Amino acid sequence: MSLLRVCSLAKCVGRRSLADVRRCFAERCQLCVSARSGAAGRISETPLYRQRRNVSTVFPKSEDTKKRVHEQSQLLDVLEARIQQLQSDVVLDVQHAKVQFIKAPSFGGGVSSGRTPKGSSKDKSDVSKSGQTVTKGASKSQPSRWMEKLSQEKKNKLKKQQHLQQKMQRIVKEKPLGQSKGSKSSLMATGTSHKTISSAAKKSKADMKLSDKIYAAASSTTAVTAATSAKAAVAPKAPKTKQKDSKSKVSDKEAAKRTTTEGKVKDEDLANVEELKKRLKQQGQDWTSLSTTDSPQDGSQGSLCGDIQLSIRSYLEACVFVGDIERSQSFLLSQHRVMSRRKYLTTDVYNIMMRVWAKRGMLNQIGRIFILLEEAGLQPNAGSYSAALECMGRQQNCSPKVILRCLNKMREDGLSVHDLFSQCVFRQDERDMLLRAIHTVKPDYEPSLSLNASQCSSPLVQDFYTKREHHAYPKLDFTQEELQERFKRQLSVEEACTVTIDSVEGLKPITENMAKMREMLADQRAQWHKVLLQALRESKMILAKTNTKDYKLNLYPYLCLLEDKEYVDIMIQSVTNMPPSGESLKILARDVGNRIYTKYCVRQKHQNQTVEKLGSIYDAYTDLLAKDTKVYNVLPREQWCKLEMEQHSGPTLQGAETTWPYILTLELGTFIVDIMVKNLKINSDILNPAYDRKLIPILYHMYTFRSTRQVGFIKPHPILTQMQQEAMETTLTFDSSVMPMLCPPVPWTSVKFGAYLLTPAKLMRTLDGAMQHEQLLEKCENLHPVFDSLNQLGNCAWRINKPILDIIISIFNERGSDKLDIPPPLSEAPKIPHFHPQDPTYTASEKAHMKREVINAKKKCSEMHSLRMDALYKLSIAHHMQDELFWFPHNMDFRGRTYPCPPYFNHLGSDVTRAMLVFAEGKPLGPKGLDWLKIHLVNLTGLKKRSSLQGRLEYANSIIEDILDSADDPLNGKKWWMEADEPWQALACCMEIANAVRSADPTEFISHFPVHQDGSCNGLQHYAALGRDVIGATSVNLVPCEVPQDVYSSVAQQVEELRARDAAKGLKIAQVLEGFISRKVVKQTVMTVVYGVTRYGGRLQIEKRLKEIDEFPKNHVWDASHYLVRLVFNGLKEMFTGTREIQDWLTESARLISKSGHTVEWVTPLGLPIIQPYHRTRNQVLKSTMQHINLQISHDTKERPDTVKQKNAFPPNFIHSLDSTHMMLTSLHCYSAGLTFVSVHDCFWTHALTVDTMNKICREQFVALHSQPILDELSNFLLHKYCSTIQTEAKTKKYQEYRRLLLLLGKVPQTGDFDLQQVKESTYFFC
C-alpha cells in the first residue's frame, strides 16, 4: 500500500496545476481507502490532509526518509496555503466534484493483498521539481525556499493592506459628511482581507441559515468591490511637486465620487438581497420539499450507469422468467466478484435471486445472498426481509426463533412489519406466505392498509376534494353487465398483443391480378415462416453455447421469453408493414424490440397471477361507472384504490415489471432484423418468368444520408413492393395498443399503473432512454389532480359518425382528393424518370437536371405513400370500430399536455379524423343547443372571425339552404361545405343541424355532436394574464368586448401599414407584397412566437404561406418572407410589452441556470414536477453484427445542459405547463358538474346543451389559476433550487454568475393594472 501512496505523492508534486494536485490527491487517497476496505467509502477529510497523514505513517523510520517526509509535508502546507490564496474557479469545481474510483495499476505480477512488500524497489524513487522521477541520490527539492517566498508574499500583502487602509481613511476625511454617511456600509470592511472574510464565512457555514448565507455573501461582495474600487482610486507614487500633488488630490476626489456612486448601487443590491432573505424565510409550501430533494442530474448516476443497472436487472429477471436459475445465479456472482461491476449492483438486484430461493424454500441460499449484500456494503431493504420471511413461511417446520431473529434484525435496520406490506411488490402467493410466517410468532397480526388520504396542497383544488356535497359525477350509459362483458373482450385483445382488421381497400372489387398476387404472397409468407423459425432456433443454439465472459450480457434469455412462433410472427408483421422506401434500422429495431417487450410484460402478468386479480377488481369497479347501480360520491381513482385495499391478498397489480433500457431494446431488435435480412429470400422470376431463377433477398441492408449523417437502412426489394401494392390485401395487423379500448381504461392510480389492462403504458411520454422524468414523478408526493384529470378524459366514450365515414371511404377508394385532404393512391404519383448517367447524349447540365427530377419524384412518391398509409390506417380502424363504442386512454408529455395513447386514430387528429368521431352519449339540445351548433358551424368555416356570436348566428340562418343542401347531397349538390376551413367537420355539423331542424322538437333532439370552444391565441392570453397587461389582454379577448378582437388580423393590419409606408419610400419588396398580406399569412407566426419560434422558423412559416398563394411571384418569396418576419416580430413587440418582459426574464433565468450546470425545473400550480431534458449530446455506439449504430443521446443527466435549448425552450414550455393546468382544472370541475368534457390542448369540447356551463367553468378556472402568485412562486422555487448553495469567494467568476442569477430570480417582472375578474364576463375569451 505504501507503494501506492509514494506513487500518488510523486505524481501530485510533479503537477504544475493546483487543480490537478487536488484531483490527483483525491483520487489516490480514495484508491488507498478502496483497496484497504474493499468497499466504496466517502472521503470525509480533505484530500491534502489525508495525503499528509498517510505520508507521515507509511515510510520506514530511517533518518533520510524522516527528513524527506518533513520536507514533503512542508511542501503540502505551502500548496494548501497557495490554493486558499488563489481561490480559482477550477479549484472550486474540483472541491465539489465526486471522486471516481480508478483501477490500481498492475505492478509486475500483481499483489493480491492491499499492501506492498517492504523490500520493493519502487520505494527508492523521488520526484524532482520538474516532475521527473529520479534516483534516491539525485538533487532534492528545497521547500525552505518556498516557505520563505510564501512568508515574503504575506509580508508584502500586509503592507499593501495597511497602506490601502490609510489611503481610504484619508479619502473619507476629505469627503463631505453626507457622502461619507451614504457610503459607510461600502467602506467599513475595506481593511479586511478577502481571505479573512471567506474564512469566517466558511467557519460559520454550518450554523447560518440559508437567507443569512445569502446576506453574508452579498455583504462580502460589497466590501471587496469597494476595496477594489478604492485600489483603483489610489494614485501611484509621484514626485513631491505641487503640480503633481494637486493632480493627485483631484484624482482622489474623483475616485471618491466614483466609489460613492458604486457604493449606492451596491446598497441597492444589498436591499434586494435583504428582500430575498425575507421571502426565503417565509417559505413553507409543498414545493420546498421538492426543491430540497436531489434533482435527477444531481442524484442519479447518469444515463449510462442507469442503463447498465437496468440491463443487469432485466437480464436476471429474464433468466428467472424462463426458469434458467443456474444462469441467473452464476451471472449475479460474476457481477459481484468483479469490483468494477459490483458498483452497479443494488439491493433490489440481489433481491431478485432471494425471491427465487424463497419460492424453493431454500433459506440457506438466502443467507448467502445476505452475506453478499454485506460484502457489497449494501443494506437489506424491505424486499430482502420479505423474501427471507416468505421462505420461512413456505417451510412446514420453520422454528419461530428463526422468524423472531429475522424480525429483530429487521427492526435494528429501521424497518417494521408494516413496511413489508406497504413497500413491497408481491407476485403470486408471496404475500400470503409472508403473512403465514408472521402469524407463526404474531398470530393476531393483520396488515393495516389505509388509503392515501392526503389531499393536494394546491389551493386550486382544495374545495374540489373537500366540498363534494354538490358534486354530480356522471355515469356511463351502460349497464354493469355490459361493462363487465366489454372488459373480457378488451382483455382477450391485449392478451393476443395484436389485432387483425379488414382494410378499407379490401372493399374494392377483386380483380384477377389482385387475387393472384394475394395467393402468391400467402404462399411466400408460409415459406418465410418456416425459414425464419429454423434460423431463429439455430441462432439460439449458437448463443446458448457461446463462451463469453461470465459478466457479459447475452441475448439468449431474451430469445426464450416467448414461443419461437411469436418471434417469427413479429418478423413477418415488420416485413408486411415496411414502406417501399425502406425504414431506418434504428427505428425498425426499436419497434421490434418494443413488440417483444410488450408480449413479455403480458406473459409476466399471467405468470404472476395478476390477471385474475385485475378481473376481480375491475368487475367491482364497474359498479361505480354503470348506469344501473347506486350513485357514488368518489372519484374513479379513489374507488380503484379502495377496491385494491379490500382485495389485498394475492399479487400486487402495479410495479412488478422492470422497464428495459433503450440500448437493450435496440440490441435485441437489431439481432432479430439481422435474421430477417439474412434468411428472407424470394425467386427472382416470380413476377417475370423470362428472368433466370435464383433466390434473392427480399430485404437489403444499405446506407443513406440524412443531412450529413450516414444512416443504416433496411429496404424491401422492388419485387416485394410491387406484389404488396398490386395485392391490395384485405387485412391489416396492428399492435393492440394502437386500437381504442373496448372498455373504460384502468384509472391512473400511480406513476406506473393505469390506462390499458395488460399493455404497459407510461404516464409521461419521454425520449427513448430518458429516466429523469420518472424519477422526479416518483419523488412527488401527490399527483392526484393530474391522475384524476387524465382519468376523466379517458372515461369519455366515443362512437363513429357512420355517414361521414362512408363518404370519406368512397372518395379514398376512388382517386382521393387533395382539396378535401384525402390522399390519392400511388397510381396517381408522378412517374420516376429513368436515364443512364453515362449516356454521352446528355450534357452535364441536363444530367444534373435529370438527377434533380429523379430525386424530387422519389421524394413525392415517398410522401404520397406515407400520407396514403396514414389515411388507410385511420379509415380501417374507424371502419373496424363503426359498430362499437370505445374509449381513448390518456397520458401526457413532460410539460403536462395530455394526449390519447392510441397514435393513429383519435380526436387530436386532422379534420378528417375529428369529423368521424362523436360522443357515445347523447344529450338533448335544450333551448340554446341548436344556436350553438350553428355558431360552431360558422366557426369551422373561418368566415366570420371578427363577427359577434349574434352576427354568426344570423349568418348561419341566412345560409340555411346551403347547409341543408350540403347535408342532403354532399358530393353532387352545391358543395358549400367544401369551401370551409375544416370541410369534413363542417359537413358533419351540417348533417347534425339538418337532423335537428327536421325533428319534431329541436330542443328535445338527442345530439351526440361535440361543440368546440377555442382559446383566442391561448399562449398570449396566459402571458397577458401573468403580466396583467391591459393592452395585451384586450388584444386576446380577456376584456369584455362587443365583437371579438382578432390578434392575427390586428398584426396583419399593422404589418400592412408598415409595408405601405415602406412602399411609399420606394422599397421594392414592399411594393411587390401589395395585396398579399392577410390574416392567414401571419397567423402561424403570431401564434408560435409565444411558444418560442425564432425569426428563422417564422420566416419558414411565412415562406410556406406565400408559396400557397398562386398569384404571388415565386422569385420574391425569399426576400418577402425575410421582410415580413421582421415586421411581424416588431409589431408584436409593440403590442405585447408585458409579454416580452416576462419572456425575456424566463429566457435569461434559464440561460443562467443552465450555465451554472443545472437543467431547468419547476412545478406547475397543480403540483406536477417538470424538468427540461436538454443536455449536450453524447454519442454512444451500439455494436451489432449488422452495423455499428451511433446513438446521439441528448438526455444524459451527467452531461452539461444544452444552454441554447434550455433558454429557448423555457418560455414556451412554461406557458404550455400553464395551459395544461388550466385544462386539467376545467376538466375536474366539469366532471364534478356532470358534464362530458374532452380537450385538444386549448380547444375544449362538450355537448351543445352544456356549452354555457363549460364556458363558465373555463373562465372561473382561468381566473382562479392566474389569481395565484405564479411568477412569485416560480421565483421562490428557482431560488431554493439553484441558489441554496452559497458561494462566498467574491473574486471568482463562478460567484459573479451565481450572484447575477440570485438577483435575476429575485426580481420578478412588474405587472400592470389589468383586472382578472373581467375574464369572467368576456364572451370571446373562449368561443
Which cell is 31 given? 484508491
| Strands in 665-796 per DSSP E | 681-683, 695-697, 699-706, 709-716, 731-735, 746-750, 753-755
Answer positive or negative: Cα dihedral of 837, 838, 841, 844.
positive
Q: Give the angle 142-145-147 at the CA atoms, nearest 5°.
A: 110
Q: Give the angle 445-451-454 at the CA atoms, nearest 5°.
A: 130
Spatial contact of 616 and 647, defined as CB atoms under 8 Å apart: yes
Q: Which amino acid is at 386?
A: S
Which of 359, 923, 1083, 1205 is the catalytic position?
1083
Q: Assess whether 1062 carries a catalytic annotation.
A: no
Distance of CA 362 to the CA centre of its chain: 43
DSSP line for 356-424:
HHHHTT-HHHHHHHHHHHHHTT----HHHHHHHHHHHHHSTT--HHHHHHHHHHHHHTT--HHHHHHH-
Spatial contact of 790 and 754, defined as CB atoms under 8 Å apart: yes
* Cα–Cα distance, 55 to 69 (Å, whole number): 7
* Cα–Cα distance, 345 to 376 (Å, whole number): 8
* Cα–Cα distance, 758 to 748 (Å, whole number): 13
Burial of 513: CB neighbours in 10 Å, binned 0-12, 13-18, 19+:
exposed
The CA-to-CA distance between both ends of the chain, in Å, stands at 78
- Integer angstrom CA distances of residue 797 from 620, 652, 740, 748, 889: 20, 29, 10, 17, 10
Q: How many CB atoms lie within 10 A of CB 64?
A: 11
Residue labelled with grid coordinates 407476485: 427
Spatial contact of 615 and 491, defined as CB atoms under 8 Å apart: yes
Which of 564, 870, 893, 1014 is the catalytic position?
1014
Spatial contact of 218 and 270, defined as CB atoms under 8 Å apart: yes
* Cα–Cα distance, 101 to 95 (Å, whole number): 16
Alpha helices in 683-771 (DSSP H): 718-727
Which cell is 1013 given? 370552444
Q: At what angle do helices 1095-1108 and 1079-1089 cross, to 10 degrees?
A: 160
Spatial contact of 1186 and 674, defined as CB atoms under 8 Å apart: yes
Question: Which residues on adjacent β-strands are paired with residue 699?
Answer: 716
Q: Assess whether 1083 carries a catalytic annotation.
A: yes
Q: Which residue in 244, 115, 256, 247 sits closest to 180, CA to CA?
A: 256
Residue labelled with grid coordinates 455499428: 1188
Residues in the chain: 1327
Q: How do beta strands 133-134 and 498-502 pair?
A: unpaired
Spatial contact of 127 and 133, defined as CB atoms under 8 Å apart: yes
The contacts of residue 553 (CB under 8 Å, 6+ apart) are 311, 312, 315
Q: How do beta strands 1006-1007 and 923-924 pair?
A: antiparallel
Q: How many CB atoms lie within 10 A of CB 1050?
A: 17
Distance of CA 101 to the CA centre of its chain: 31
Give the residue numbers annotated as catalytic, written as ranges. 1014, 1083, 1242
